[in-house]
Amino acid sequence: MTAPREIAEDVLTTPVAGVNLVPGSLRRQLSPTTTLFVFLRHFGCMFCRETIADLRACTAANAIYPKVLLFAQAGPVEARTLLRDLWSEAHCVCDPDRRLYAAFGVERGTWRETLGPAVWRARSRASAKGHTNGERSGDVWMMPGAFLVQSEHIVWSHTYRHAADHPDFALIPELADTSAEDARRP
């Protein structure tokens, strides 16, 4: 675990729109306990689709899984269309201008990070789960991001080595418990 980092007030008060959201600011989307922020690549990316499906499975398998808040570089209509098939109950902030991506330090990848050998090797993993590439949308060079948020602080984040990399999402509840215990210690 890393030292908690406070989310800037101007980021928390950013008005958001999307799918299955509470009207208002980013702050209003937070769970009272823990929220997992997941910044997605473009919707045509098979690894984006894999991430959504994996998160759906994790939340279905674990009743104490933290609230998941997806971030997409798409508008609400496009997000609703994709999520209808993959996870209709998902909460998704639409950020086509990628302002929140920038605020959380989610950046464009290099050629190697987005199209390199590790990405090509991971295609078989995503394909085995039934995922394929779709129509490109958004910035195809954007990397993903994952942040565990408690009390308006980032208590954990995953550093993506490449576009197909992702944390073991099944371990997130354990990470949330550990960071909550750390916060209670004097």
Dump pLDDT digits (tens) for 79-118: 999 999 899 999 999 999 999 999 999 999 998 988 877 7
**Structural domains of the chain ordered from first start:** 29-184 (3.40.30.10)
More confident residue, 13 or 176: 13
% of the chain residues with pLDDT over 90:
69
Predicted local distance difference test score (pLDDT) of residue 126: 72
* Residue pLDDT, tens place only, 118-165: 777 877 777 677 777 777 778 999 999 999 999 999 999 998 998 889
Task: Record the pTM.
Answer: 0.91
pLDDT category at 176 given cuts 50, 70, 90 is: confident
Q: HSE-up of 1 (CA within 13 Å, CB side)?
A: 20
Q: Which residues contact 24 (CB under 8 A, 6 or more apart)?
A: 15, 16
Residue 29 predicted with pLDDT over 60: yes
Residue 185 predicted with pLDDT over 70: no
φ and ψ at 65, to 5 degrees? Answer: -65, 135
Predicted local distance difference test score (pLDDT) of residue 8: 97
pLDDT category at 45 given cuts 50, 70, 90 is: confident
Predicted local distance difference test score (pLDDT) of residue 49: 92
What average pLDDT does the chain have?
Answer: 90
Nearest to 150 by CA among 3, 1, 2, 4: 4
CB 49 within 8 A of CB 87: no
Predicted local distance difference test score (pLDDT) of residue 153: 96
